[in-house]
């Protein structure tokens, strides 16, 4: 599953918060806009997906998304509508889209968005580790911070992903060599220190502080 940018459009802060929570397990970064700002945000936001609160009269707002697509903006549309809007609902024909009836479950919205935004490449939510703005994708061997890929080498990624998926436990250098480098590795244990320094420099900030050195023992990832 590759990172996508989602533009959440609603005049209701509670709807925005609920959608963010419902989709928090997906590999999405979020932007927000009010309905009046939709035309300008569609061209400026560089979004892959629009989650649009259409309420009881979704057609005019959906039409704005379709107009943007006709002008060359490449995106998909998830339309949230009230049940009263269903008899006259018409999804745009030039935009790959789906709809969700307000009052449905968060699991339903998550499943619909996942199928819409990642057709054929959906990753299990168990394959995604999220720590703030950091995402570790265990299915694709990739890590992203603030939506940007972290340029890990294979062994840096392997060491980092092992530690973040085993939080709160200290591992000695010798154990990490066996678990990450393999039983046939005959180099010195200090190679772990070198890789940890490189990882810290690449993730930076508060995240680097969570990769702790346990004196005379090894390393742990603080949950």
Decide: 66 and 92 in contact? Cβ < 8 Å: yes
Decide: 20 and 26 in contact? Cβ < 8 Å: no
DSSP 8-state secondary structure symbol assigned to residue 166: S
How sure is the predictor about 72, in pLDDT bands with cuts at 50, 70 and 90?
low
Q: Is the pLDDT higher at 220 or at 122?
A: 220
Question: pTM for the full model?
Answer: 0.55
Instruction: Catalogue all structural domains in the chain, each as residue range(s) with its CATH number.
Output: 4-122 (3.40.50.2300), 127-221 (1.10.10.10)
Tell me the three state secondary structure of residue 203: helix
Whether residue 189 has pLDDT greater than 80? no
| pLDDT tens column, 4-51 | 788 899 999 999 999 999 988 787 888 898 988 887 787 766 788 889
| 205 φψ region: left (φ > 0), alpha (ψ -120 to 50), beta (else) | left
Q: Residue 77's beta-bridge partner residues? A: 50, 97
| pLDDT tens column, 136-157 | 888 778 899 988 899 999 899 9
- Cα 123 from Cα 40, distance rounded (Å): 32
């Amino acid at each position: 599953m590759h990172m996508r940018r989602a533009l959440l459009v609603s005049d209701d802060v509670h709807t925005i918060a609920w959608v963010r929570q419902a989709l928090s397990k997906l590999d999405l970064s979020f932007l927000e806009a009010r309905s009046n700002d939709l035309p300008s945000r569609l061209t400026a936001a560089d979004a892959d997906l629009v989650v649009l609160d259409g309420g009881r009269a979704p057609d005019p707002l959906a039409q704005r998304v379709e107009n943007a697509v006709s002008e060359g903006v490449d995106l998909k549309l998830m339309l949230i509508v009230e049940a009263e809007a269903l008899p006259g609902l018409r999804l745009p024909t030039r935009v790959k889209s789906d709809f969700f009836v307000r009052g449905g479950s968060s699991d339903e919205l998550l499943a619909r968005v996942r199928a819409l935004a990642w057709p054929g490449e959906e990753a299990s939510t168990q394959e995604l580790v999220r720590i703030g703005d950091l995402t570790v994708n265990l299915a694709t061997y990739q890590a992203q911070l603030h939506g940007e890929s972290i340029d890990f080498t294979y062994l840096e990624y392997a060491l980092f992903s092992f530690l973040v998926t085993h939080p709160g436990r200290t591992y000695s250098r010798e154990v990490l060599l066996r678990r990450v480098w393999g039983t046939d590795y005959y180099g010195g244990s200090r190679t772990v220190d070198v890789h940890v320094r490189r990882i810290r420099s690449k993730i930076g900030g508060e995240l680097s502080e969570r990769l702790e050195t346990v004196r005379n023992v090894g390393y742990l990832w603080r949950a």
